[in-house]
Amino acid sequence: MRSSWVLFGVLLMLSGPLWADSRQDTFLAARDAYKARNESLLVEYSSRLQTERYALAPYVDYWLALLRMDEAQNDEVRELLTRDADIPFSGRLRAEWLKKLGKREDWTTFFEEFPKLSVEDPAVTCYALQGRVARGEQTALQEGKAIWMSPQDRPASCDPLFEAMQTAGVLTKEDIWLRFRLALQDGKVSVAKAVLRRLPEINAQTAGKLLDQAHQNPQQAKQKKRFTTSTRLGRELNLYALERVSRSQPDLALSLWNPDKSNYSQEEQAYLWGRMALHAARRHDARALEWFGLAANAALSREQLEWKARSALRVRDWAMLQATLAAMAPEQGEEAAWRYWNGRAYKEQGQIPAANAIFVPLARERSYYGLMAAEELGDAMAAPQAQYKASEDEVRAVELIPGIQRALELDRIDMRWESKNEWAWGTRSFNDQQLIAAAELAFRQDWYDIAILTAEKTTLTHDFSLRYPTPYRDRLQVYARENALDEAWVYGLIRQESRFISQAKSSAGASGLMQVMPATAKWIAKRMGMGNYHHGMIHQLDTNLQCGTHYMRYVLDQMDGQALMATAAYNAGPGRPKRWAGEQPMEGAIYAETIPFTETRDYVKKVMGNAYHYSQQLGLRLQSVKQRLGIVNGRQSQVNQPAGAAETSQP
């Protein structure tokens, strides 16, 4: 009898999810069946979950529809999209259907459904333009230029459109060369090679090999004169090689460039000066503005204009800064950063009414630059706004919404990406009070990142305790005090690092609340005398907080007590922040704005803004953002590092 039960148990395990006791198990088995493209199993799971009225049953029908897309009748797909119109996957399903319709050139059905598409998909956009051309709308060819002028690879559905554009003369040779440059600027060598195939006079195979030489060893390629200057391709390869050399060896690039500059057109010369100026600006090279001046006739990219503005900011050339901001496209110039610095430029030049006209509306925005603008107006120490607290009925009302229930269920089975999509979709039309109630619900689920994200969307009514939550405070305070750290700064950093998700792990391997790298954790543990340390311990809450706060203290000491530079060091490593300082002392806000790494630049601004809010939230001594940013010492006045703190000894 015992052996029969054992046999039954073995058979039960072998039979797999078909014998699953829970709806969650059945759903996860359905997901596996979809990955295995097992249509018959999906049909069975769909029937079972529909019968049991499981909240996630529509997902199984969605997976089934994707598997059947090639054979599906239009009415079948329409019926599913109508039934599940309020579920996030409906947009992706419609996009896949439109691709099939475009491929079949069923333009009647395509254009009936295309206006209902709620997601962006380049392949569908190309099919739409292709279909309009087939209908005789030649203006669609011109609209295709916006898709062509991108460094990104484009889906195969764009090729017929590009062919039609080239045949009609809408896509010119100059357009092809321009995209070639764009691809190389973005490091997309494979895209650049594909672009060259549209030029019949160029041998794509030979050109590809030459391009590889320019990319892999540009200095050698230039010194050995691998590329001629008598053809457009040769000059473009020379320009690309020179640009790559200039990124780290500007003087060598100049020595290679000056002797044969006259072999290039004025446009080509201006283009290279603009690229060299960009790299110089990122290195804080004093020649950057001079080289931007030599690129006066070049059409500067968004990135180049940003760095020209930052170069002007580093030397406090307010007139140059404003001239550069005026050259930006309206949508770029309207970004909060450039509105703030435009206001500062007016203020520094004594034009107070013009400055305040910028600062007043900006100060209403809940952002780093909004805080900075308020400080310029003298409102830095204003009391925090009154907060709105959601009632239990409001929280319960949100919890009963089907999309929110699906989001919570997806989170329970660790489908976090889908869960976040459901949450975002379900809250997309919420008013401020509903958003606060939803954030409160997420907070109660220990879903801190979603609570913060949701609370941040409010416009007029706010709950700052949800925007800036303080979980684990009893434990965090211990380590903050142990290391003599500002608790608001520690919280501000953790909020940016992990959004308080203790199991967070970055693509680089940083782990836990404070996102400590494995090598750094090992190094810290050794400094602290943790003889029993092993890598798994960094995922433990207390160990993570202990190591992270110890490291914050370390980098703060390395940066001579300057929290701004220490924040940059926490993100980018201790060796870089002092190199980013100027020769003379510099306003912290300017230092932060001109950090070369985009990630670190955004990171320090957010951490310092967070710290300001946390000091209010925790009732600590209030410092303005400007006070927190401070004045960064010039390199000439920086003291020597203490013994044992050499960069080679750091993780």
| Residues annotated catalytic, as ranges | 497
Q: How far apart, in whole angstroms, are the C-alpha atoms of residue 336 and residue 373?
A: 10
Residue 462, helix vs strand vs coil: strand
Pair 597, 572: CB distance under 8 Å: yes
Pair 240, 210: CB distance under 8 Å: no
Residue 516, helix vs strand vs coil: strand
Pair 31, 63: CB distance under 8 Å: yes
Residue 34, helix vs strand vs coil: helix
Q: How far apart, in whole angstroms, are the C-alpha atoms of residue 264 and residue 262?
A: 5
Q: How far apart, in whole angstroms, are the C-alpha atoms of residue 48 and residue 42?
A: 10
Q: How far apart, in whole angstroms, are the C-alpha atoms of residue 127 and residue 107?
A: 9
Residue type, 489: W
378 sits in the region (left: phi over 0; alpha: psi -120 to 50; else beta) called left
Pair 566, 556: CB distance under 8 Å: yes
Burial-class residue 298 by CB neighbours within 10 Å (0-12, 13-18, 19+). buried
Burial-class residue 477 by CB neighbours within 10 Å (0-12, 13-18, 19+). middle
494: nearest Cα among 592, 607, 597 = 607
Place of tokens 């090679």: 193
C-alpha angle with apex 561: 555 to 567, nearest 5 degrees?
Answer: 45
Q: How far apart, in whole angstroms, are the C-alpha atoms of residue 612 and residue 375?
A: 12
Helix (H) or strand (E) holding 158: none
Q: Would you list the DSSP string of 536-559? A: GGGGSHHHHHHHHHHHHHHHHHHT
Dihedral sign, CA of 379, 381, 386, 387?
positive
DSSP 8-state code for residue 511: B
Pair 82, 74: CB distance under 8 Å: no
Q: How far apart, in whole angstroms, are the C-alpha atoms of residue 182 and residue 200?
A: 20
R_g (Cα) of the chain, nearest Å: 29
DSSP 8-state code for residue 379: -
Helices 204-216 and 232-246, axial angle in degrees (round to 10):
20
Q: How far apart, in whole angstroms, are the C-alpha atoms of residue 113 and residue 581?
A: 55
DSSP 8-state code for residue 149: S
Q: How far apart, in whole angstroms, are the C-alpha atoms of residue 376 and residue 6?
A: 77
Pair 433, 397: CB distance under 8 Å: no
Instruction: Kindly state the tokens that stand for 73.
Output: 């009748």
Pair 593, 310: CB distance under 8 Å: yes
Q: How far apart, in whole angstroms, are the C-alpha atoms of residue 554 and residue 577?
A: 14
Chain-centroid distance, C-alpha 147: 21
Q: Would you list the DSSP string of 135-190? A: TT-THHHHHHHHHHS-SS---GGGHHHHHHHHHTTSS-HHHHHHHHHHHHHTT-HH
Instruction: Kindly state the tokens that stand for 271.
Output: 């283009």
